[in-house]
Structure formats: C-alpha cells, structure tokens
Amino acid sequence: MSVLLQAEGVGKSYSLRGERVDVLNDVELAVGAGQITALVGHSGSGKTTLLHILGLLTEPDRGRVLVDGTDMSGLADGALADVRRSRIGFVFQSYNLLPQHSALRNVVLPYVGRRGQGEDRAQRLLQRVGLSARARHAPGELSGGEQQRVALARALINDPPVVLADEPTGNLDEASEKVLLGLFRELADEGRAVVLVTHNTTVSAIADVVHRLDSGVLVTEGSAA
Ligand SMILES: Nc1ncnc2c1ncn2[C@@H]1O[C@H](COP(=O)(O)OP(=O)(O)OP(=O)(O)O)[C@@H](O)[C@H]1O
C-alpha cells in the first residue's frame, strides 16, 4: 500500500474562555492509496479538526502532515494552496457551495488545468454524480443530497489523489447515501485515498480501515486488510 497522506505527532489545542482544550494529542495516521479510511468518535472528539489539518486547512500546533511523503510544515501559504488544490479534494460538512453560482460554475471554479477544459471536465463530473441535468441550477434549487454530490464533483475537478469528506452522508436518505458510498468506493478503486469523517455505522462498515478518536488519541479499530 502506498501512503499518500500522513500525520506525525499531530497535536492541536484551543483556548476557550481561558481554558485550554487539548483536542488532538500526538496523532499518528497513514492514509493509503486505494482505501477508504473512516474517522469516527463521539461529538467533539476532534474529527473535523483532524480532517481540516489533513486537508491543510488548519495548521497543527505540534507535529506535521506529509503529502506524498513531503513535509507540509513551514510551506508558504501560496505553496500550501497549490498542494491543496492539486492533491486534495475536500467535501465540507456544509457543502460550502457559492449560492450565486450554478452547480456547473461551482464545480469549475477551483479548476487549475488547461484553459477551456474546465467546463467539459465539470460536465463529466456532474454526469458521474448523476446531476448532469441540474448543471445550470443554483445550490438553493437543489436538495441537500444533490448539493453534497455537487460538492463531491467540485472536490474532483483537479483529479486529486486524496479525497477528504466531513460527514458526507449526514443529511441524506438511504438511497442517496447508497449512491454516495458507491461513488467513494469507485474513487478508492481508482487508487485514490478516501478519508470519511462519520457518525454513521453504515459508512464505517464499508471502510477498509476505521480509526477512532478518543480523548484526543487516535486508535485503529479495524482494518479489512
Ligand atoms: N476554531 C475553534 N476554536 C475553538 N475551539 C474549537 C475550534 N474548532 C474546534 N474547537 C473545539 O475542538 C473540539 C473538537 O471539535 P471538532 O469539531 O473537531 O469535533 P468533532 O469530533 O468533529 O465533532 P462533531 O462530531 O460534533 O462534528 C470541540 O470541543 C470544539 O469546541
């Protein structure tokens, strides 16, 4: 298994009303290509914080994140943004789609490839997530599950080897959940590393590896391998 994303000794604390809260303590994690990794744990255990650190959206206080074996600590903001755009697709818990733009425009916006090819690629991705007929619709005209699928298409626009998703099935009915989990499996089968934060046991059941966060410590619960 080739490791695409690693956390080494990652720690994060917040200061809340004068109280220090240690959210993550010395987290070690290696995320492999071709696998679905689930991050589980009770509410407030730090899953989103860890996902944001893995996605280079939040800097850890201690330790480091490696993408393709390269240490990300100390990279300038621009270089970090380049790695984020090209190597990591992130699906946010609240989708974070721009309401004034169509689904298609939302998918194209982060595209960094050859000029003129973004729209075609975005169309194909919308087709892949079953929404080609909704390309011109604004996020407000789509259901939660549809917005989630647009957010996944956007996360794939630059063909990233790593896909991170925060509670991707949080607002979905069973049928939409099944479609989305099928898509994540396809992404892993293509060789990508997929990391899902979830409370949902259906989601963790399809994962190849399950890690649980408990009191800031990450424990591996199970591995299909
Ligand atoms: N920006 C922040 N400032 C201060 N404290 C924060 C911040 N972000 C997270 N926290 C604290 O860190 C802890 C972990 O939050 P996090 O959102 O990572 O947990 P979670 O496991 O994803 O929870 P949930 O399952 O409820 O989404 C919480 O106690 C929260 O109050």
Q: Report ipTM for this prediction.
A: 0.94
Residue 43's Cβ-side half-sphere holds a number of Cα atoms within 13 Å equal to 0
Asked whether 23 lines ligand 1 (CB < 6 A), one says yes
Angle subtended at Cα 209 by Cα 208 and Cα 212, rounded to the nearest 5 degrees = 145
Q: Residue 83: pLDDT above 90?
A: yes
pLDDT score, position 202? 87
Q: How far apart are CA 109 and CA 97, in angstroms?
A: 10
In CATH, the architecture of 3-97+161-223 is: 3-Layer(aba) Sandwich (3.40)
- Buried-exposed string 86-98: b where 16+ CB fall within 10 A, e elsewhere: bbbbbbbbebebe
The answer, yes or no, to whether any atom of ligand 1 lies below 6 A from the CB of 43, is: yes
* pLDDT reading at 224 higher than 90: no
Q: d(Cα 11, Cα 200) in Å, to the nearest integer? A: 25
Cα separation, 81 vs 86, whole angstroms: 9
- Tokens coding 171: 């607002």
Q: Would you say the CB of residue 21 lies under 6 angstroms from ligand 1?
A: yes
Distance 61 CA to ligand 1 centre (A): 15
Q: What pTM, to 2 d.p., does this model score? A: 0.94
CA of 78 to the centre of ligand 1 (A): 26
* C-beta 219 within 6 A of ligand 1: no
Measured in Å, residue 123 CA sits from the centre of ligand 1 at: 35
**pLDDT digits over 144-198, tens only?**
889 999 999 999 999 999 999 999 988 788 888 888 899 999 999 999 999 999 9
CA distance 180 to 149: 7
Q: What is the whole-number distance in angstroms between the Cα of residue 49 and the centre of ligand 1?
A: 6
Q: Is 15 in the pocket of ligand 1 (CB under 6 A)?
A: no
* Tens-digit pLDDT profile for residues 105-132: 999 999 998 888 899 999 999 999 999 9
170-176 long-range contacts, Cβ below 8 Å, gap at least 24?
Answer: 170/93, 170/199, 170/200, 171/144, 171/145, 172/144, 172/145, 172/148, 173/145, 176/145, 176/148
- Structure confidence at residue 223 as a pLDDT band (50, 70, 90): low
How confident is the model over 213-218, as a mean pLDDT?
91
Separation of alpha carbons 165 and 125, rounded Å? 17
How far, in Å, is the centroid of ligand 1 from the Cα of 14? 9
What residue owns the CA closest to ligand 1's atom 1?
14
Reduce the DSSP state of residue 149 to 3 states and report it. Answer: helix
